[in-house]
Amino acid sequence: MEIIDTKFSEDKNVSYVFFYSEVDKPENYLAAAIITKNKYGWKFDEMVGVGDIAEGNAGNSTGHDGYRIEFAASEVAKVQLGIHNADIIPLEGKELKAWLFHGLSSDEFEKSELQFLNEEGKILESYF
């Protein structure tokens, strides 16, 4: 329905296009199109549903093959995994936001703990 953000991973030649979709009512669902670049240009690879944009869905995630997308509560300003920082996808006027890690292996997710920080840089003990 409406594109809200695009994140590029130049080293992996991948683009993530986030958009609102409609399940029960307009703009109540977040989805992403994953597009890769090859020698002929950009090619659509897949579309994934992140989920219903509802406060109780903080922590819901999707992902595979080196990317992970998850909802977080609105007070989360930064998400870190070891030395890596997630891209934040703001959902204006919504009670959630989303974040994206791309180009990381499942091994990296297993070895490091996710940290959620507020605007002041303080770690949030519980972000749900």
Q: What is the pLDDT of residues 3-33, one digit of tens each?
A: 899 999 867 789 999 999 877 666 789 999 9
pLDDT of residue 107: 80
Break the chain into its structural domains and give their ranges.
2-117
Q: 72 or 103: which carries more pLDDT confidence?
A: 72
Kindly report the backbone phi and psi dihedral angles of residue 56, in degrees, each rounded to the nearest multiple of 5, phi listed first.
-70, -5
Residues ≥6 apart with Cβ < 8 Å to 64: none
pTM: 0.86
Reply yes or no on whether the pLDDT at 54 is more than 60.
yes
CB count in 10 Å sphere of residue 12: 13
Kindly report the backbone phi and psi dihedral angles of residue 57, in degrees, each rounded to the nearest multiple of 5, phi listed first.
-95, 10
